Structures are given as C-alpha cells and as structure tokens.
Structure 1
Amino acid sequence: MIIQKSTNPRISTFDPSDFSFGNTFIDHMIICEYENGKWGDLQLIPYGPIGFTPAMMGVNYGQACFEGMKAYKDNDGQVFLFRPEKNFERINKSAKRLAIPEISEEMFLGGLKALVDIDREWIPQGEGMSLYIRPLLFATEEALKARISEKYMFAIVATPAKSYYTAPVSVKISDHYSRAASGGVGAAKAAGNYAASFYPTQLAIEEGYDQIIWTDDCSHEYFEESGTMNVFVRINDTIYTPKTSDKILDGITRDSFLKLAERRGIEVVVGNVKVTDVIEAQRNGTLKEVWGVGTAVVTSIFEALGYQGEHLELPRLSDEESFAAQLKNDLVNIQTNNAEDPFGWRVLVEENVYSV
C-alpha cells in the first residue's frame, strides 16, 4: 500500500458536537485504479477532488456501485468494524452484476483498516455516533461508447455520523412505482437504483409522507423494501420480512436483525409479505409494528401507512414493548462493544499499524 499522509490535516477543526453528516469528510481516502486488465497499487492519500471528464463512462453508462458500513469507538477508545466481510462479499456481487472487475479481500479489508486506523480521531464517541464508510467502484474510462469500460477506480471515503431519523415516520405503500424489476439490478447496490427512487419518493413527500414502501413490479401485491432499507412487519408477536431475491438487497443489518430475533426466541417468517394482509392486520388490531433497517439509520420505526388514499395509524409502543427497539438495542450494543458478541461480528482495528 502506498501511504501519503495529509500535510494539512483538518482534524483540529472537527467539532464532534457540531457537524453535518454526509458533508464532513475525514482527512484521507483510499483509491486504486484498474487498467490493462489488472488492479494497481492501493493508495491512501489526502481526501480531495480527482480529475475526471464528463465523458467518464461511469457517468454516462452507470457502471457504479457502492457499500455502506460503519466504524465504532467504544468507551475505551478502541475502534471496531462491523461484519466487514459481508460488505466485501456484497460489493463483489454488485460488481459482477454490473460487469465491473472484482476486487480482492486484501484491497477491501486492508484499505478499510488503514483508513480507519490513520483517521481514527475522526470517529466521534458516544451514543449513536460512528464513522460512516463508503467503499465504491466506478468506471473511469473516457469514452462515449456503450460497452464495458476498460478502466475503473476503487475508492473508500468516510464521514462522521450521528443519530438521525429518530422520530417515527409515515410511509406510503407504492401501488405504481417499483424499486426494481425481476432480472434487474435490485440485488446489487447499484448507484442507479438510488437515482430511480428519488422521483417517486419526492411525490410521496408532496403527499405528506416521509418515505415509500416499495412493492413488486408485477402486481404491487407484496412488500419488497422501504426507501433505502429492508422492511420488517410485526403481526401479533411474529416478525415477517420479505425474502431476498434479484429484486431485494441482502441487507447486512437485516441479516443481523434476523439472527438477533432468533437469539431472543422471537418467531420470524421470511417470505412473501402481502400488502392486503398488512392492511387487514392494521384494521383488526393485530399489526403491532412496521419498521425499516439499514446501515445508516439502523432502525426507522413507522407511525403510519398510506395506502390508496387511506392514512392508517400504527400503535405507539414503548421501547420495552417494541421488538424493533429491542433488536436495535441488541445490535448497537454489539457494534459499540457494550455487550458480548456471540456471533463474532466485531472486528478490532488495531492502532498505529499504518502510521508512517
């Protein structure tokens, strides 16, 4: 790995109590370039702009994918990654679907650990605080040709993160737009998936909702995802969640929730979640909770569903009554080293390994 540390670090200007998530970037980033059929050297360099032209193929033809993950600092200042091997597996799954060259585990995990180690001072400490990390792959060849690119970049950037979306939200169940289609790229974290979601979400916001529950593209009869999250439904004391497919992202937070629910002895059904069954459960009082899970937000609890012109309120449960709150608490305690880790999910980032 080539390491070029910043000669003008900005860490002294960072205020952990006053920063903007997604707009505040740490001092360094990872880059690695692909050309002539192979990946070059991994580089850790100061964060900043990289020169590209509007003819870059990733911009014109959409060969771009990414991951979302976090690093956490415990009460003793130790830093941990959470299940990074799952993000490595998934970024290569996305890359394969988008005809992007896959990366090695050494590139991915080595780059992550080096970046987090050198910029560990950027990780805020405290409840709900973390470092959000964005590994990404994109085509960089300068060519207006509708074909597979011959040049790519692997990069990792990061931004300090704090708790948000803490208040319950209202969501509209989509009966027209879909997030992904069978045979498409729904199971990949393709950049274009997010672009395609913005317009329907904007329409839902104009109707007074915060987000969308996406339904299947064929009949709009089944739940698939919610916004940029996987979705869970609790009817009585059973949790239901859609099974993953080529349309539904295999979320790492989703998988963690399933394992934590099993450990608590909560009954979980993974399969088709029919919209009409959820609406009927709301009407007869057996629908207890609906929530979304994802890396950035961890858990977003829904207070109301919108469906075909109806606004359907959901129960307000205490944290002691809520499965969503209990499972979130279990997960966050493992991530932040405040509880035992029976699954081996925490990965310690050793200190000063990459100092130069």
Structure 2
Amino acid sequence: MGFETKPIISGETYEMASRFATAASEELAAIAEASAQATCIGKHWNSIAELGWMATAIPEEAGGAGGDLSDLAALAAGAGRAALALPLASSCGVVPVLLAGHPILADVASGAARVAAILPGASRDADGKALTGGATLHGDAVGVETPPNPTHLAVVVTGDEPMLLLVPVDAAGIQTATYLRIDWRLAADFHFGHVAIAPGWIVARGPDVLRRADAARDIGALLTCIECVSAVGALVEHTIEYLLNRVQFGQPLATYQALRHRVAEMYVEYETLRGIVARALRAAQSGDDAWQAIAFAKLRLGEAGRAVAESAIQCHGGMGMTEELPANRLCKRLMMAEFEYGNRVYYASRLLAEQDAARLLAAQEA
C-alpha cells in the first residue's frame, strides 16, 4: 500500500494487534453462516485470552499483567485497523475498572471468566424503562456488547441506593438472546424477571458505584475512539488504493477530481479526529479529570466516523457494499461505534450541563 496514515500510538503491541486483527477479520469475512461466524469469533476470543489481552490493565497482584493506558491504547489502535469483532474496550478496559479489587479479576485475566458490563443508560429496554433493583432485579437490558458465552454480568443499578452487582448469567430468572450486530460483534438482550439478589453478588453500594460507572464509561469511550482513529486511517488508505487501481473508461478512478476531493475531505476528518483523540489520551494518561476531553473526542467521532464511512462507500461504488472488502467492514464498525458508551446527544448534553453549572457557580460567586 503506497499511502499510510500515522497511527495514534505505535510499537510492538500495536503491530501485533494489527496483524492479529487483519488475519481474524479476513477469516471471518469468508464465512457466510451466522452460527459459523459466532464460532469463529469464539475461537479468536480464546486466542486473545491466551495472548493475555484481558490481563493487560489488571494489576499484577490481582493476577494481571500490570499494564497501563498506553498498553491498552496500543491494543485498541492495532485492532481497530481491521475492525476486529471482539469487545476489547469492554473486556480489557471497562470491566477491570468497574470490578477493581474484586477477586474475579484473576479469572478475567486468564479468560476463565467472561464478563459483560451493563452500565447506566444501557440497562433500558426498548420502551426506555430503566432496570430496577432492591431485593430483586427486574427489567431488560438490550443491545449489550458481550464476549462469547459470558459467565457473569457486571450490572450497575441506579436509584435511591446505587448498586454494582456481579450476577452469574445462569442465575434463575435471567433470559438471554444473543445475536450478531452489523459489525459482526456479539450483542445480547438480557431479561431479568424479578431475579432475587444474592448478598454475594453485591460488589459495591452508594456513591462509589456511580464514580466507578463514570470512570468505566470514560475508559470505554476513549478506547473506542482510539480504535476508530485507526479504522478511519485504514479506510482512507484502502480508499486511495482502490481509486488508484480501479480503472473505468480507460482511466484510474483517482484521476477524477470529484473523487480526489472526497478523499481529501476524508483525510482532513482523519487528522482532526486523530488530534482530538490524542489530546484525550494525553489527558487520561496525566491522571487529571479527562472526561471533558474524552467527551469532545466521542462527540467528534460520531460526526467524523459517519462522514468518512459515507465518503468511502461513495468512492468504492457498488464494491463498497460487499462484506469481503475491508472498507465495508470498517464502515460498519464506525457506524456502530458512535452509539457505544454514549452517542453524540449524550455527550453534547453532558458538556452543556457542565457549562450551565459553571455559569451558575460564577453567578453565585459574583
């Protein structure tokens, strides 16, 4: 490939994740039947467990590798280049933050425990009703990204007394429907029919639960953004390669000015998104309160991801609709990523609420 974009983070971990993701995605793209696709995803999940990906951010004393945010970012960036259909942000980032200090993290690190995280906002059914707790757990959580064959659910229940629960998937009263999303990632709908909450399921209570949930959502959003920066960069590369090699009416498509302008706009979107996400990563690495920088990055991802995906499909024409083409898989991943860990509306509302609170405080002090 002649043109290459600059990754947001590089190194051996990035290169390893990129090679793995490319091979896994190509294998998955060659499979047409849904159950066989799910089997393939499960095989690749076992492979990254053996490679220790889930152990990356788990402390050594808890059975993990004791890595830092740079290690997680490198995995996400490498995997994003080929739209790896595995829940890296959730399993490698969100779950270790949400369940910090819990003994199950040793099994998460080894791959023996597979935990799906249900954060506030995700735990709502199609009618918008929130999942409720107390003595029992009742309601639905739909569209939850999940590892293959999850063993536990990390559920955040809000209300008068927020609770963080670690619930076995096979507990009485839980019904599960699993399916593949358009980006080939596994998702599930969980129905809780007045499930009696066992004392051993309660990980935390009170305000600390909401702090954990916010921190988990922020790390999930950041890793998703990092992954998608790589996806956008790869999509620009694939589009340029396609236009240079595809010939119509005796001329490469790259000679058409309208298509060249499209690619230029895609590249500008890439560099803009890369800069905003890099700033969010630096803010998170510094240990400061980075949620605003992450919010701006996720807000921009929704706009840039959709714009680049639409332009890539236009440049590829009918070929862009074939699932065997890497560009198609990258476009689908970008379209779905907007809705993970809060969409544009969520982050715009959160930023505006913070701005209003700051103005009110300034007025009171004046």
Report the structure, 1 or 2, having the larger helix content.
2
Work out whether the TM-score is over 0.5. no
Normalised-by-shorter TM-score class: under 0.3
Question: TM-score normalised to the size of structure 2?
Answer: 0.26
Structure having the larger proportion of residues in strand:
1
